[in-house]
Structure 1
């Protein structure tokens, strides 16, 4: 099977799993594991709020800075790549970083901690009931924090053609980091599981499509 067909098959399978998750209504059930009428006990503890949320944000910006600097002064992980490939890595990562906030700006879905069931004012409404508000502040779908990790899926696609082993290790690292970020936001009541799952899928799509477009159209650059 050609790589693009295999990629499309994975995208389709992921989409089916996400739709299936949404149809089960499991988001609310999982949120109840960590929340109560008085809120989420782990919302402000140091390791969720300070380390994994605040610290995770700084880590994401640091990783992006390394990518930007690596266009001109590459670290060893960048050495197998041309400047064109390194530039594409940065641009596609930025596109993925910007995509999720753009979706969140028009989303009417509020965070779990905003629900009346957990001490807020909103009522649970599926994020796919477009145009239907839940009585809360909204702008919580998908997970922006998880995008700080999943946007770096771009590295998998830029490394895969010439360095598949390194690409797989990069992929595993990004997926693990994104899962940790998503779990931290789940236990804090900041996001439902599906918010993280959809962020991963959106970032996968933009990184796959963006890298393919860049390789097909971008001019050659000196190393």
Structure 2
């Protein structure tokens, strides 16, 4: 049991911490971010698709519907989950028959059965959003196009140079990547799938990682983020989703069976 617990935390907590250290060394302590953005920066002093309205809609505005609808569905499911347990046979027979006739009964039973999962998604989304906003306001990092490197007026700084724990650091709001974090929040569904040992759990994990990477990379193409902002968003979102899942389920329900895959970041590593 102890070795299983150690393996779970090594993959799901230790590995993302190691990834965070790697991002810090490879990006934050070097000029790699600037090299990537310089390569994208056109000779006529603008980023590709920076002012393309169609690209903005396709990659920024419209994709928000995926995490937004997921969060809204979880809220609705959480509310509905409290209805069915209130209906007592013998006292609410007519109402129960009506709900069954309208095929609402199965929906209410489903939400009641998975109430904890619906609540987990709601809470994890809220915590992740709060974490992202905290780091944005307490680091006050400006986006590439806002810095003097790419035609802006603000100085480029690294997040650790400007971090303030107890108060806002300034007006900048670019680190970590907010849009990327929206895609990465879908990883909460992976922990639900992991809890129930659903065979498509790994597919949900991959889809969440790809979605967040696409969200973040498209903003890099527009000059609104450095590449490391996307990677940091992924790490922060993962930590928020993991810690919330541990609070809701405990590590035993999240630990894979002998036949299942190892922890989530292990699946990525492989």
Q: Do both share a fold (TM > 0.5)?
A: yes
Contact 1:111–1:190 (Cα < 8 Å) also in 2: yes
Shift of 1:164: 4.5
- Contact 1:89/1:211 (8 A) holds in 2: no
Contact 1:109 1:125 in 2 (8 A): yes
Give the Cα separation in 2 of the matches to 1:183 and 1:211: 27
Question: In structure 1, what is the equivalent of residue 63 of structure 2?
Answer: 56
Worse overlay, 192-201 or 122-131: 122-131
1:96 to 2:131 alignment: no
Report the Cα offset of residue 47 of structure 1.
Answer: 4.2
Question: Which residue in the other structure is 1:109 paired with?
Answer: 141
What's the counterpart of residue 34 of structure 2?
Answer: 28
Cα offset for 1:145? 0.8
Deviations 1:134-179 (A, max 9, x none): xx95221111111111122111112213225222111111111111
Answer whether contact 1:143 1:195 (CA < 8 A) is retained.
Answer: yes
1:162 aligns with: 196
Determine if contact 2:177/2:230 at 8 Å carries over to the other structure: yes
In 1, distance between residues paired with 2:201 and 2:134? 28
The one of 40, 43, 49 aligned to 2:47: 40
1:124 maps to which residue? 156
Normalising by structure 1, we get a TM-score of: 0.84
| Aligned residue pair count | 211
Q: Quick check: 2:139–2:160 contact (8 Å CA) kept in 1?
A: no
Measured in 2, the distance between the counterparts of 1:19 and 1:129 equals 12
What corresponds to 1:196 in structure 2?
A: 230
Q: Is the 8 A contact 1:152 1:174 kept in 2?
A: yes
1:19 corresponds to: 24
Secondary structure of the 1:165 match is coil
Unaligned runs of 5+ in 1: 217-223
- Determine the C-alpha separation between the residues in 2 that align with 1:130 and 1:124: 11
Aligned-residue Cα RMSD (Å) equals: 2.5
Matched residue of 1:125: which SS?
coil
In the aligned structure 1, how far is the partner of 2:54 from the partner of 2:248? 38
Name the CA shift for 1:85/1:63 in 2 (closer, same or farther; >3 Å). closer
Q: Is the 8 A contact 1:48 1:185 kept in 2?
A: no
SS of 1:154's equivalent in the other structure is: helix
Moved more, 200-209 or 47-56: 47-56
Report the CA distance between 1:208 and its aligned residue. Answer: 0.5
TM, length-normalised to structure 2: 0.70
| Secondary structure at 1:129 match in 2 | helix
- The runs of at least 4 consecutive aligned structure 1 residues that moved more than 4 Å come to none
Does structure 1 conserve the Cα–Cα contact (< 8 Å) formed by 2:137 and 2:171?
Answer: no
Change in 2 beyond 3 A, CA 1:165/1:25: farther
